[in-house]
Amino acid sequence: ELKVEQNPLFLSMQEGKNYTIYCNYSTTSDRLYWYRQDPGKSLESLFVLLSNGAVKQEGRLMASLDTKARLSTLHITAAVHDLSATYFCAGGYNNAGNMLTFGGGTRLMVKP
């Protein structure tokens, strides 16, 4: 059974600073996803990481995957207030229909 853990659960940071959210998973996962959720809203897809060493970047966010360490990271560069949201990582197996197992989420607050 796949288990996914994120840390930290809560992150308060100043604008302009850098930080990393960590996502550890327990067993082999075919793909690793990152989603964003704004308060009262649904989940917005950010990244899909397919293989070991995969790195994807969009704006101030960069996600990476190390399948050997069973670790994915979401790095935030020069944070801005608009990045304030909750970020979830999730893993899935293709042979199990790819139902996602989510981490507990990281609530990010970026202060001006």
- Tell me: does residue 97 bind another protein (CB under 8 A): yes
Nearer to another protein, 84 or 105 (CB): 105
Strand partners, 105: none
| Number of residues lying near another protein (CB under 8 A) | 23
- Tell me: does residue 14 bind another protein (CB under 8 A): no
- Tell me: does residue 26 bind another protein (CB under 8 A): no
Which positions ≥6 away from 27 have C-beta within 8 Å?
1, 2, 3, 70
Gap between the Cα atoms of 24 and 39, Å rounded: 24
* CA-closest candidate to residue 106, choices 16, 3, 2, 19: 19
Stretch touching another protein by CB under 8 A, among 53-61, 65-73, 77-85, 87-95: 87-95
Stretch touching another protein by CB under 8 A, among 20-28, 64-72, 77-85, 93-101: 93-101
* CA-closest candidate to residue 103, choices 54, 56, 70, 81: 70
- Residues binding another protein (CB under 8 A): 30-31, 33, 35, 41-45, 48, 88, 90, 92, 94, 96-102, 104-105
